[in-house]
Amino acid sequence: MDYKDSAIELVDLYGYWALFITMLVDTIGIPMPSKTMLVLSGYFVTLGIFDLQQIFIVALAGTLGGFAIGYTIGNKLGVPFIHKYGKYIFLTPEKISRLEKWFMSFGNYAIIIGYFLPIARSVMPYLLGVCKMPFIKVIIFAAIGATSWIISLILFGYIVSKNREIIWTFLVQYYPYLIAGGLALTLAPIYIKKRGRKPKNEQLDSE
């Protein structure tokens, strides 16, 4: 069963609660089909199963709830706990070190950007808690980042669903060109890289 099937089954069984729990658990660091769930939620809006405003509120509440839990764990239990048990939520010392450097570069705006990066989205709350960052300040930036991320995915699902016939017609009509373009984008860097490498004999001759 793939992420799409899992998300559909969760929605069918638990409705809005499925969305809330998925967002909360995924933000804590336990892998869940959060992105798939948000895209499908946008699709379900077009079918009349979900209400657009309600799914946004539920998704945001779940995401910020998970953020608050992760922050509290990092703040109260600190670095030793994270180093000992972080591996169970894919929070390794290497990831912590990379994110620390990233935060040094971008400051609080890294929280907003982090929502669009799978690993950072789950690791951020713990790291911010460990660093004793002011909770009110980070939760505001987290809310901004989460809002942008949630709306973009829900709208993607909504727009694709509303225009699925047009999109399908476009793909059927232009798929040879799309495949050719994809291959060109994949092979071009390899070709350029090989062209950039001079054989040792040529390099010696040029010297």
Q: What is the pLDDT of residues 98-152, one digit of tens each?
A: 777 777 777 788 889 889 887 788 888 988 888 888 999 999 999 999 999 999 9
Output the pTM of the full model: 0.71
pLDDT in tens, 31-59: 888 888 898 888 888 888 788 899 999 99
- For 171, the token pair is 């793909």
Residues in contact with 124: Cβ distance below 8 Å, sequence separation at least 6, in sequence order: 67, 70, 99, 110, 111, 114, 142
CA distance 35 to 27: 11
Angle at 95 (CA atoms; ends 92, 96), nearest 5 degrees: 90
Q: Where are the alpha helices (DSSP H) in 48-163?
A: 52-85, 93-106, 109-114, 118-130, 135-162
Contacts of 25 (CB under 8 A, 6+ apart): 32, 66
Confidence label for 89 from pLDDT (cuts 50, 70 and 90): low
Around 56, how many Cα atoms within 13 Å sit in the side-chain half-sphere? 15
pLDDT of residue 6: 60
The rounded distance, in Å, linking the Cα atoms of 129 and 67 is 10
Q: Specify whether the CB–CB gap between 69 and 125 falls below 8 A.
A: yes
Work out the mean pLDDT of the chain and round it to a whole number. Answer: 78
Dihedral angle over CA of 24, 29, 31, 35, nearest 10: 60
Contact 129, 98 (CB under 8 A): no
d(CA 65, CA 27): 8
